[in-house]
Amino acid sequence: MSFCTAINCMDGRVQLPVINYLRERFGVEYVDSVTEAGPNRIVGLQSDTALLDSILDRVKRSVKFHDPAGLAIVAHHDCLGNPVDKIVQFEELELAAKYLTEQFGEIPVIGLWVDETWTVSEEFTHIPKNDK
């Protein structure tokens, strides 16, 4: 079995587009989903330590048990959990991708944006130096 991991918003509108994108992007069968409202803000700013620790704990389990081919952090248009403009969303997304690269350096980390048509685009890519 092959896996990747997504830290995604809990908004149901983004779930399938992100899963479909990641299955193709990493060539995997399954996507472990860690969901919170506005996860790019939580991970990028690291200000809510309880939620951040919860997200990291779930990602660590995915890494330990499923050896994911990659890790994605997701931001999206019209996010109720992070109701800021696209520029701020992208800044937080980049901070989150960098932070996750520091935490999980052995795994490729990507930052995804889901736009108003629910199209997924890869905005940030951090590939580890000793790629698998």
Q: What is the pLDDT along the chain (132 residues), one digit of tens a residue?
A: 799 999 999 999 999 999 999 999 999 999 999 999 999 999 999 999 999 999 999 999 999 999 999 999 999 999 999 999 999 999 999 999 999 999 998 999 999 999 999 999 999 888 776 544
Phi and psi at residue 42, to the nearest 5°: -60, -50
Token code pair at residue 3: 């896996």
Per-residue pLDDT, 39: 98
Ramachandran category for residue 35: left, alpha or beta (phi over 0 → left; psi -120 to 50 → alpha): beta
Closest Cα partner for 13 from 78, 59, 71? 78
Share of the chain above pLDDT 90, in %: 92
- Indicate the helix (H) or strand (E) that contains 56: helix 49-66
Cβ-Cβ contacts under 8 Å for 51 (sequence gap 6 or more):
36, 42
Per-residue pLDDT, 127: 76
Q: What are the domain boundaries of the chain?
A: 3-126
Domain 3-126: homologous superfamily in CATH: Carbonic anhydrase (3.40.1050.10)
**Number of residues written out for the chain:** 132
The pTM assigned to this predicted structure is 0.94
